[in-house]
Structure 1
Amino acid sequence: MRTQEDQWLENLYRHTLPRVAAMVYRMGGHLEMAKDVFQDAVIIYLEKQQAQKLPPGVSAEAYITGIARILCIRQLKKSGPELSLDEMTENIGVPSDYYAPPPVARPVLDYIRSAGKRCLQLLQAFYYDQHSLSDIAAGFNFKTLHSASVQKYKCLEKVREQLKQSDYAETLS
């Protein structure tokens, strides 16, 4: 009985190992890796066979080759190409424009000022001085609280529109 299992393993090694070695070589591995991967795949196959968890209709050769492929991919991902830091710094250069100064942005206050004096005062009262809309409506002589809210919104929209236009102009230049 032992001789039949030995004969089966010998045939498996004889027919499947060269296929696994060729596959590993195509994937960038070497012969020693192929032998290790093949051995691990055979062990996994035998464990699955003993636990009766093999998929039906799949030959031992196909199953072992598939497992070997997965193990090879994992091993190649782990090992990856290794470069020393000296080699890496020689091959990497910093672009000449990397340290160029960033374009000078226009301060937001300039955008608010360009929206008009009344908008500047209104937005300053609301955001900086933190007055309520009812105080602003009374201070700016708006008839209703809603009028003050609408005017604040319009002022913000003026500023947003100018910011969009300047971003667009900077993108083009």
Structure 2
Amino acid sequence: MRNHEDQWLEEIYRNLLPQVARMVHRMNGNLEMAKDVFQDAVIIYLEKQRQQTLPANVPAQAYIMGIARICCIRKMKQTGRYTSLENINSDISVPADYYALPPVERSVLNYVKAAGKRCLQLLQAFYYDHLSIQEIAAGFDFKTPHSASVQKYKCLEKVREQIKQSDYAETVS
């Protein structure tokens, strides 16, 4: 019986220690930490096995990997390598201009305005106010929803044509 347990432990060490080492390395740990985490995980697994409190239908390797992940996170917290989300705002600053619109997006509005007031209103109603084509047809006095859809398409084509003719098209290509 003892020989069987030794073989099982040897197989677990051979198969899982490299996986745990890779996981710990991805979390910015070193080989020593990986060995500690792995041994803790195996001991916890064996204690739960003796107490018969292991969940049913969970392979030993998967369970040990899960325990190792939790142990690694706890060790990272203890050694200070782990940054909690509460402290992240003080550690990382967002540049002041991060939320500013890029110049290209600002100029697209100019192209829409240049397409005409009616096009601006029609596109705004569809894209920003999220009105349906039926609501737009009624609100803009189109005879049918199809004619409203055609007019929306024509407005978009006007904007596209202006962009193609501008310097913007040269800078993008």
TM-score range (shorter-chain normalised) is 0.3 to 0.5
**TM-score where L is the length of structure 1:** 0.46
TM-score scaled by length of structure 2: 0.46
Larger Rg: 1
